[in-house]
A and B are shown apart, each in its own frame.
Chain A
Amino acid sequence: MALKKFVVGCFEDEKVLFPAVAKVRKSGYKIHDIYTPFPVHGLDKAMGLRETSLHTAGFLFGLIGTTTAVTFMTWVFTKDWPVNIGGKPNFALPAWIPITFELTVLCAAVGMVLSFLYICQLAPFVKRHHFHPRATDDLFVMVIECGDKTNEAELSSFLNSVGATEVNTQVAEEGWWIGRYDKEQELYKQTNIA
């Protein structure tokens, strides 16, 4: 949680965006993030982001579901209360396949969605600073973090030169906070230290 200074460049076409990303990275600027209205395939690779391992989490959650179902039904029917059902064996693995399968799917799906929400920090009442309202509509919004030595004017004109249609500088909170979207909040109080 900290206020940071960002230079924001907006692109209207993904065909302009891709070469721009390569040029910005080559020039040594650090791309904070690119906000897009839809998943642009290949953009994560172009930005140098690593592959997500969310699917591994899904697999592990599924495994938890499978083991829970099998061990629980085994315990119930062979140990806790063995019931004679039509003279069939108590350990009736084939008959447990449906429930085992359903529980696997349930755990994998629920676990994965919760992991997704957790790692992306998404929840009701979560609020973020949005750099451009049209980032969820039709603009590709590239946000570059300013370091101590960044020359904002130079960076802005550089972004213009690689095809950004709108460039501005914003000081913003980079994390999320609890809030409502219909209310503006003052996150930091101006205090003058004498």
Chain B
Amino acid sequence: MSLTKYESQLREPLVNGNKTYGQVTNDIVHTIEVKPTRLWYIGFYVSVVFLLFGVYSVYREVTYGIGQWNVNKTIGWGWDITNFVWWVGIGHAGTLISAILLLFRQGWRTGVNRAAEAMTIFAVMCAGQFPIFHMGRVWMAFFTLPYPNTRGPLWPNFNSPLLWDVFAISTYFTVSLLFWYSGLLPDMATIRDRAKTKLRKHLYGLASFGWSGSTKHWQRHESLSLVLAGLSTPLVLSVHTIVSFDFATSVVPGWHTTIFPPYFVAGAIFSGFAMVQTLMLITRKVMNLQDYITLGHIEAMNKVIVLTGSIVGCAYLTELFMAWYSMVPFEQDIFFKYRIAGPYGWSYWLMMTCNVISPQLFWFRKLRRNVTFTFIMSIVVNIGMWFERFVIIVSSLYRDYLPSSWSVYYRPSIWEVGFYLGTFGLFFTCYFLFSKYFPVIAIAEIKHVLKTTGESYKDEMSALENKGADSFYDEMHHDHHEEGTVKVAHH
């Protein structure tokens, strides 16, 4: 059996430094076994403060009602739904990295997939808060579920995109969580078997479900990961498609367009990768993981950002073109009078600058590999993508069909902003806890690719490269033949 999977020497190594399997374990698990740094404590407590402010803001909204927010009859979906779409979008990059890039056999995903998947789960948790509390009477939230009730039973409307959202988001959360945790089991076992303290042994023993590393278990685990990746791929596309249906199936000018599903999915991946960059750049620095999250990883993600950013830009221009081409006065007014101009024109141009113009700088390799520049860009893109949702929602609503109900200015109340800040608190509290108690890099997966893509193992490929294709094929063929005879002998 030829063990070496061929990997071109021209490819950048995915793991830098002269690493053995043992060192990989040590590098990644070490941070879990020592006391967190001062920086971690500061970050964690700041997040908790934000979270508490969010909890208080939500308390105000639940106790006194939706009137605590400045949304009105005309602009019914203000900050709240903007934040919902923004957070869901952020989650998408995690699934793209863990599922779609697995199916495409992109080796570089191994360095970042664990943290990106965690980000997905936390982002979806944050996203879910918004539609739930937007209901106003949040204690009635379970009315959205199709359960046999005493009202008839009166079932929810299965033809409504808002109900599709309930199913899509909850499925997305569940499947992401299962995918993430099944991948974590072996790594939890690694921590368990190294644990020195009793408490750690017990807790990681619980968390690892008694994982032993048996070959049969690994074989099933591989099958499970592959199928879950195959399921998550259409799932992640469906989730943001359905979110876009919330808008696209309505008859509001500016929302009622068929371009929405692909445009939303591209935007989701765009903003999600920006958030992954923000988190990864901090994580690799604080936890000293530069050997695993390399400049090559950062560059690869920047390439995705410039691609999806351009797709989004293309969608913006298509929208404008279609508004003009349709010759529908409502459509034209929304786009040309109320969206790119008018009192909210500034938000449109902010969106254009952040999402379409500035990411074009990533065509330069030097900038793609510049850590500081990438960090700044990741924040810029996230601001831009928040404004994209704000533009879509508010600029389509504030001047509707009835001029008497036009609402010119919408400013969020402090509790509306507080709710948003609170989800930041929730997100970062979860992320800080994750980075302290969970392996932020998939240990087993890194070991799996170490011998083909590790910096110190790259030289072994030169022997294969000198060999020539024919002899390589012969060798492989010979191996399979031998394997066959073993099987026959066994039976």
Contact = CB atoms under 8 A, between A and B. Distances in A.
Nearest to B238: A101
B487 A182 contact: no
A44 interface: yes
B448 A38 contact: yes
Contacts of A153: none
A106 B173 CA distance: 10
Contacts of A134: 22, 193
B444 A37 contact: yes
A135 B228 contact: no
B178 interface: yes
Interface string A24-55: 01000000011111111011111111011011
A95 B159 contact: yes
Contacts of A95: 158-159
- Most chain A CB within 10 A, of B171, B178, B222, B444, is at B171
Contacts of A81: 152-155
A5 interface: no
Contacts of A122: 185, 209-211, 217
Nearest to B447: A38
Interface stretch (B197-205, B283-291, B327-335): B197-205
A98 B245 contact: yes
15 contacts: A25-B490, A33-B216, A37-B444, A44-B218, A80-B155, A108-B227, A113-B228, A119-B220, A120-B214, A122-B211, A124-B209, A126-B210, A134-B193, A181-B202, A181-B206
Nearest to B449: A38
B234 A120 contact: no
Nearest to A72: B146
B215 A33 contact: yes
By size class, the interface of chain A is 35 or more
Interface of B: 1, 3, 20-22, 25, 146, 152-155, 157-159, 161, 163-164, 167-168, 171, 174-175, 178-179, 182, 185-186, 189-190, 192-195, 198-199, 201-202, 204-207, 209-224, 226-228, 231, 234-235, 238, 242, 245, 443-445, 447-448, 451, 483, 486-487, 490
A189 interface: no
A109 B227 CA distance: 8
Closest 4 CB pairs of A and B: A181-B205, A126-B210, A138-B21, A122-B209
Given A33-B216, A108-B231, 13 more contacts: A36-B215, A36-B218, A48-B487, A51-B219, A98-B164, A101-B234, A102-B167, A102-B168, A112-B227, A121-B210, A126-B209, A126-B210, A181-B204
B119 to A, nearest CB: 19
Contacts of A39: 218-219, 221-222, 444, 448
Nearest to B174: A106
Contacts of A52: 216, 219-220, 223
Nearest to B209: A122
Contacts of A182: 198-199, 201-202, 205
B265 to A, nearest CB: 14
Contacts of B235: 102, 105
Nearest to A22: B486
Nearest to A117: B209
A40 to B, nearest CB: 7
A122 B186 CA distance: 11
A187 interface: no
Contacts of B185: 122
Contacts of A138: 20-22, 25, 447
A102 B193 contact: no
Nearest to B202: A182
A15 B3 contact: yes
Contact of A181 (B201, B217, B483, B486): B201
B21 A137 contact: yes
A96 B3 CA distance: 48
Contacts of B216: 33, 44, 49, 52, 120
B250 to A, nearest CB: 12
Contacts of B199: 182
B215 A85 contact: no
Contacts of B163: 99
A7 B314 CA distance: 64
A109 B231 contact: yes
Given A98-B164, A138-B22, A180 B202 contact: yes
A137 B210 CA distance: 15
B296 to A, nearest CB: 21
Contacts of B186: 37-38, 136
A34 B219 CA distance: 12
Nearest to A123: B209
A142 B161 CA distance: 54
A14 interface: yes
A127 B234 CA distance: 36
Contacts of A108: 227, 231
Contacts of A171: none
Contacts of A43: 215, 218
A155 interface: no
Contact of B193 (A15, A76, A88, A136): A136
A58 to B, nearest CB: 5
Interface in A53-98: 54-55, 58, 62, 72-73, 76-77, 80-81, 83, 85, 88, 92, 95-96, 98
A4 interface: no
Nearest to A94: B159
B212 A35 contact: yes
A113 B303 CA distance: 34
- Most chain B CB within 10 A, of A33, A102, A134, A180, is at A102
Contacts of A33: 214-216
A18 interface: yes
A34 B194 contact: no
A76 B198 contact: no
A37 B223 contact: no
B175 A109 contact: yes
A99 B210 contact: no
Interface string A114-152: 001101111111111010011111100100000000000
